[in-house]
Every structure is written in C-alpha cells, then in structure tokens.
C-alpha cells in the first residue's frame, strides 16, 4: 500500500510540474490587454456554428464505436458511451474515461469485460495510428521528427505484438496467461480470439475508414477556428500541423482535460514554430479547448448522472484491474 501511495504521489507531482511548466510557457510573454482585444474580435455567431460543427466528430466516433460492437449496441448508446468517456476524462485524472466507457457498455449491453476492453482497445489503437500517420507527415514537412518518435515506437510495438498474436497464437496465449493484471489479461485474451478467429482485412479497412472520418472532422474544427474565427493567415498544412501537435497534447497523460498541456501545444506550434503572436495563439488555444471541453463535459456528465455511476466506482475498477 505504501509503495502504491508513493507511486501515485510521484505521478501526481510529475503531472503537476508538467502542467505548471506548460501554463508558465503559454502566459510568460503575453500582453493580456492585447489578448483581450484579440478575444473580443472573435465572432460569437461563428463560435456557435463551429461548436455545433464539432458535434459531428462525436457522432462519427459513436458510429465507429457501434461498428466495433458489430452494430449490436446501437448508435445512441455508443454516442452516449463516447461522450461519457470524454466528460469523465475532462474532470477526472488518469484517463478514467476509457474505464467508464467500458463499464457503460457492459451495463447497457450486458457485454463481458473482455469484450468491452477489446472494443476500447481497437478504438484507441486506431486513433494512435491516425495520430502517428498525421504526425509523420507533419514531421517530414516541418522537420520536427523527434516529437513523434515515442508515439512511433509505441504504435509499431503494438503492431508487432498483434503480428505475434495472429501468427503465433499458442505462444501469444502463453504470454497473455503470464500477465499479472486481470483487466489487461482479459482484454488481451479477447483481442487474441478476435485476431485468430474473426478480425480480418475488411475489418481493418472499415475501421480505418471510420477513424479517418473521425479525424477529418476533428481537424475541421481547428481549421475553422484558426482561419475563420481568428483570421490567422496560416496555410492549410501549417493549420494541420497545429491540429496534430495539439492532439498529441490532448492525448498525453496529464491533468484532467489536458488543461495547460493542450494550450502549450497550440501556443508552441503557432507562436514558436509558425511565428504567430503569443496573444492570438493563446486565444486560439483557449477557444479550441473550450469547444472541446464544454459540450463533452455537459453531455458526458448528464449521461454519467443518468447512469448511476460514481467516480469512486470507476476508480475502484481501475485500481482492481477490472475485476
């Protein structure tokens, strides 16, 4: 227990230091009077339109999730599950949203723990692939390859593990049986069964198309904010680079809702790399974050309260390894 407490404390302090450093970076050179003038130039109608547009990405994510359930759960349940996970991630540490999504699908659809974990795995894994693919393009264009090396190593390692599971199932099962965490062991066992008996090229292609649809819609949000609302004269490739780097910031384990880290990614990419003034970069980062945070948190918490879940229950499941 003491070791676990020390580990949790150390993890918290590291994340706190990361967030503090990011917040210091984004505000250190900002003239707040100019920042406020930039914000006041934003068109409220355009903000409302783009916020409504952002919901299309969440709808597509719900459709993808329903595909992963073999169209069994239904689009509404899957949309609610996705929004719930986003909402929980916005208010709770440690990315507990994925656990809440699995728990929600188990409750609504009477799925096994292994099935829900495998669904979440394929969803997140293809998101990582999409982020890596876009990151490689950005890295080649703007020569910032080192930023994506850890992500590339992670994704390629998972693909290597899937190859072993697919073509050496007996060896893979022996390895899975040695995994000490039950939640992870169950999820890996389900993935192994799918790879051996059900997952094939059409599955990967279809899931890839759903994932591409999600990320194109997500990217559209950044494009509209930067070019339409903020009127920043960046070319499309540079705006997409801002989107990719901010997505990496959002995906990093840090504070709830990636507070501070997301803003750092936007300000760093816009001001340091592309020489946009700090005030505009910060205003864009805060507006983008607000559009991501507010709708998902409000709807996600509505689903959360309606479902009868508690953060303690979700956290206990995470601590117990999904038992």
Q: What are the pLDDT digits (tens) for 281-315?
A: 999 999 999 999 999 999 999 999 998 888 777 77
267-285 mean pLDDT: 94
CA–centroid distance for 61 within its chain? 11
9-18, 48-57, 237-246, 302-311: the lowest-pLDDT one? 9-18
> Structure tokens of 31?
């003239």
Which residues neighbour 70 within 8 Å (Cβ) at sequence distance 6 or greater?
A: none
Q: What is the 3-state secondary structure (H, E, C) of the chain?
A: CHHHHHHHHHHHHHHHHHHHHHHHHHHCCCCHHHHHHHHHCCCHHHHHHHHHHHHHHHHHHHHHHHHHCCCCCCHHHHHHHHHHHHHHHHHCCCCCHHHHHHHHHHHHHCCCHHHHHHHHHHHHHHHHHHHHHHHHHHHHHHCCHHHHHHHHHHHHHHHHHHHHHHHCHHHHHHHHHCCCCHHHHHHHHHHHHHHHHCCCHHHHHHHHHHHHHHHHHHHHHHHHHHHHHCCCCCCHHHHHHHHHHHHHHHHCCCCHHHCCHHHHHHHHHHHHHCCCCHHHHHHHHHHHHHHHHHHHHHHHHHHHHHHCCCHHHHHHHHHCCCC
Is the confidence at residue 322, as pLDDT, over 50? no
Query: Does the pLDDT value for residue 34 go beyond 60?
Result: yes
243: closest CA among 297, 285, 197? 285
pTM as predicted: 0.86
275: which 2 tokens?
């020489």
Q: Which residue did the predictor score with more confidence, 59 or 115? A: 59
């Amino acid at each position: 227990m003491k070791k676990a407490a020390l580990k949790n404390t150390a993890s918290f302090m590291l994340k706190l230091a990361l967030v503090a450093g990011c917040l210091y970076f984004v505000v250190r050179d900002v003239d707040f009077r100019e920042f406020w003038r930039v914000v006041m130039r934003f068109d409220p109608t355009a903000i409302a339109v783009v916020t409504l547009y952002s919901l299309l990405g969440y709808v597509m994510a719900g459709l993808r999730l329903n595909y992963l359930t073999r169209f069994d759960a239904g689009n509404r349940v899957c949309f609610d599950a996705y929004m719930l996970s986003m909402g929980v991630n916005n208010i709770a540490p440690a990315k507990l949203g994925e656990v809440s999504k699995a728990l929600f699908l188990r409750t609504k659809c009477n799925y096994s723990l292994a099935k829900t974990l495998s669904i979440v795995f394929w969803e997140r894994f293809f998101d990582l692939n999409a982020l890596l693919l876009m990151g490689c393009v950005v890295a080649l264009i703007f020569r910032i390859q080192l930023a994506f090396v850890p992500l590339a190593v992670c994704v390629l390692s998972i693909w290597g593990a899937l190859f072993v599971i697919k073509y050496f199932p007996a060896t893979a099962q022996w390895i899975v049986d040695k995994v000490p965490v039950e939640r992870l062991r169950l999820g890996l066992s389900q993935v192994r069964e799918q790879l051996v008996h059900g997952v094939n090229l059409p599955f990967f292609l279809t899931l890839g198309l759903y994932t591409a649809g999600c990320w194109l819609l997500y990217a559209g949000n950044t494009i509209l904010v930067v070019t339409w609302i903020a009127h920043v004269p960046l070319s499309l490739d540079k705006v997409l680079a801002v989107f990719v780097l901010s997505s990496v910031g959002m995906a990093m384990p840090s504070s709830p809702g990636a507070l501070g880290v997301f803003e750092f990614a936007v300000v760093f990419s816009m001001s340091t790399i592309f020489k946009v003034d700090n005030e505009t970069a910060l205003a864009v980062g805060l507006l983008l974050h607000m559009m991501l945070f507010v709708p998902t948190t409000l709807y996600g918490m509505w689903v959360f309260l309606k479902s009868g879940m508690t953060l303690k229950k979700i956290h206990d499941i995470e601590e117990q390894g999904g038992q």
